[in-house]
Amino acid sequence: MKEITVKIIDPIGIHARPAQLLTAAASKFKSESKITANGLEANLKSIMNIMTLGVKSGDEVTLKVSGEDEDLAFETILGAFKSNGLCE
């Protein structure tokens, strides 16, 4: 399992557009991918799961990826966080 905790820097937090982009990135892989925030966990392959977390700017989220293609999945999903301005 690969895991990292990042601080959300997007002024709006994780809203519909970035949630869709994260879901698209996670859905490319067989590995299980989840984020945890505010004491809740969400499957990154579900936009609705992500949106229920209510992640705001300044919140910390933990990305966890496990499975047969976890290395590439982890780097791709973390890249989606960074390239969409969600974290540094």
Structure tokens at 65: 């990826």
Contact status, residue 58 vs residue 14, Cβ threshold 8 Å: no
Active-site residue 45, yes or no?
no
Candidate list 7, 15, 17, 82, residue with the active-site label:
15
* Helix intervals (H) in the chain: 16-26, 47-51, 70-83
Structure tokens at 67: 């499975």
Active site residues: 15
